[in-house]
Amino acid sequence: MGILKELEDVDNIKLSKDKRAVIIIDQTKLPGITEYLTLTTVEEFYEAILKLRVRGAPAIGICAAYGMYCLAQTIDTTKYEAFHKKFHEYKEYLNSSRPTAVNLSWALNRMEQVVLNNKNSTVKEIIELLESEAYKIQWEDIEMCRKISKYGLTLIKEGDGILTHCNTGQLATSKYGTALGPLFLGKEKGLEFKVFADETRPLLQGARLTSYELWKAGIDVTLICDNMASVVMKNGWIQACLVGCDRIAANGDAANKIGTSGVAILAKYYGIPFYVLGPTSTIDVNCKTGDDIKIELRNPDEIKKEFYEKPMALEEVKCYNPAFDVTDHSLITAIVTEKRILRPPFDSSIRKLFEV
Ligand SMILES: CSC[C@@H](O)[C@@H](O)C(=O)COP(=O)(O)O
């Protein structure tokens, strides 16, 4: 299937008809309201990523790639050096919006590489190449998610109870998703699973997005508070945990939504396999271990009042609000990528993955 044909029915991130703007679903309004936002300025792209209007590691990379194409068209020069200078400035600004998910810098670097590789082309030609690269990034993401879903499906069986954390479905990517991908693919094949979705405090991606996406697809989903994961495991209702990732270090330590490492520790205690699913672009071999991964700290108000009609704690109370945590590689049963399923020891399976 051609790239553009494949992208036609993607709904959550796409270029506007005139190709000057990016249209996204505002994920902060779901599930109650499906509202589309049109992003054109660098400030709008930055705000949409920072405020999680577009979120999920692959999705923010895709949005930023389209964003760079749109912004490139606004740079008012025909001179290569001036064009690259402004392009780089936009790229660095967007890159600073969220530090943990490597997919953001990965996609932005890919876009800048197009500019760097074509020093002898005209600015108009470079802009055309940027358009193709952004389409390619989204198309490749769909392909990767399809393959991850296939591999993931081999690890679970009909009727299994699955625990998941945060949101790793279509909204977080473009199609299928990563950790939810096997469940959507399984559903297409007529397989039934019983999914338990952690609500995922403080921003409730599990409640607002995962339970919504699974329910819409007709998959049996039960929403639980994060502190109930231990009970459903103890009850024998969970046969596997499937989670996504924002950055994986060279030794297999995996950063994902805050609370993920707690799920992994519980899974180890109850002898339940714990799988991390994500594209190889999420593996950052420049990070030796999880200690090298920068964890995003967010506004304390997200804990105290953001999702409540009235504040749930005194204004004066201090809050610590890390957006991600790192699951130690020793707690991970396998890492599922689009290329293959990686097993421990992860330092060598990851090294082999990148060997040519
Ligand atoms: C396929 S999405 C993988 C991860 O990005 C996901 O699990 C996650 O932690 C998202 O966090 P978020 O802060 O909602 O962007």
What fold does the segment set 3-145 form as a domain? Four Helix Bundle (Hemerythrin (Met), subunit A) (1.20.120)
Per domain, the residue ranges of the chain are: 3-145, 156-353
**ipTM > 0.90, yes or no:** yes
Ligand 1 atom nearest the C-alpha of 257 is 9
Give the dihedral sign, CA 277/239/218/206. Answer: negative
d(CA 179, CA 173): 11
The answer to whether domain 3-145 and domain 156-353 are alike in fold is: no
The pTM of the full predicted model, rounded to 2 decimals, is 0.96
d(CA 73, CA 75): 6
Ligand-binding annotation for 205, yes or no, is yes
Q: Is 12 in the pocket of ligand 1 (CB under 6 A)?
A: no
Show the tokens assigned to 61: 């990379």
Block residue for tokens 């959507």: 184
Average pLDDT value for residue range 47-66: 98
**Pairing relation of β-strands 22-25 and 13-15?**
antiparallel
Average pLDDT value for residue range 47-74: 98
Confidence class for position 1, pLDDT limits 50, 70, 90: low
Q: Is 101 in the pocket of ligand 1 (CB under 6 A)?
A: yes
Q: Is 174 in the pocket of ligand 1 (CB under 6 A)?
A: no
d(CA 78, CA 207): 48
Confidence class for position 305, pLDDT limits 50, 70, 90: confident
For 83, other C-beta atoms within 10 Å of its C-beta total 19
6-15, 23-32, 296-305, 313-322: which has the minimum mean pLDDT? Answer: 6-15
pLDDT at residue 2 above 70? yes
Question: C-alpha angle with apex 64: 335 to 200, nearest 5 degrees?
Answer: 50
Amino acid at site 46: Y
d(CA 104, CA 98): 8
How far away, in angstroms, is 168 Cα from ligand 1 center?
6
pLDDT in tens, 126-185: 999 999 999 999 999 999 999 999 999 999 999 999 999 999 999 999 889 999 999 999
Average pLDDT value for residue range 289-318: 92
Multiple choice CATH, 156-353, 1.20.140.10, 3.40.50.10470, 3.40.640.10, 2.30.22.10: 3.40.50.10470
